[in-house]
Structure 1
Amino acid sequence: MSTSPVGAHSGRARAYRFAVAARVLLASAGGYGIAASASALLAVVLPGTRAEAVSAALIASFAIMAAVVIWVFAARTVGRAALVLGIVAALLTVTLWLAGAFQTGSFT
């Protein structure tokens, strides 16, 4: 005979489903944001012609997205994953700004 009420099991299942849904959303949106920012940074800083740098950055973005998705699901908590992705996104944005990517005419 079970000592736990039916509502407690339902609450745990609901919390687990919410955590998985949050990780899926974080992995897809955060992974896309990190991959796009890293790709833009690589396109700006890689040597060679512009076409070669953009192509290499685009290819690298697929690996970056996959790594972010794997890491989000491997993180201990959803909050920790969100915090780390936020810090990485902020660092990439600052680095892009320092590299001059936000100046008018920098991609011409």
Structure 2
Amino acid sequence: MLTGKRPSDDMFINNLNLHQFAKIALPERVIEIIDRQLLSHENEVNIRQSEIHKKLKSIMLETLVSLVKIGVSCSSDSPRERMEVKDVVIELHKVRDFYLSAEK
């Protein structure tokens, strides 16, 4: 959902899969793998280098990193390494709460 890629995407060759694609990007390159449609609001806004804009971009990036980490954890090859659903819900609530509190 975050990358806009399907597990069967043609780009996944030579043992590269969607899980590895996302994991490799964590955390420094996450913005490079995010579906551009999710970031399209930036194109509509006149991008300024104000402190408010920098803060919002930082909040968005931290939120995306957290969501990709959850996705990577949920898609591990080994079921034992995957995050349990109850823990996923807890982590998603944390991400939501961080985003909403930081946005104020």
TM bracket, shorter-chain basis: 0.3 to 0.5
TM value normalised by structure 1: 0.33
Larger radius of gyration: 1
The structure with the largest helix share of the pair is: 1
TM value normalised by structure 2: 0.34
Which is bigger in relative contact order (C-alpha 8 A, separation at least 6)? 1
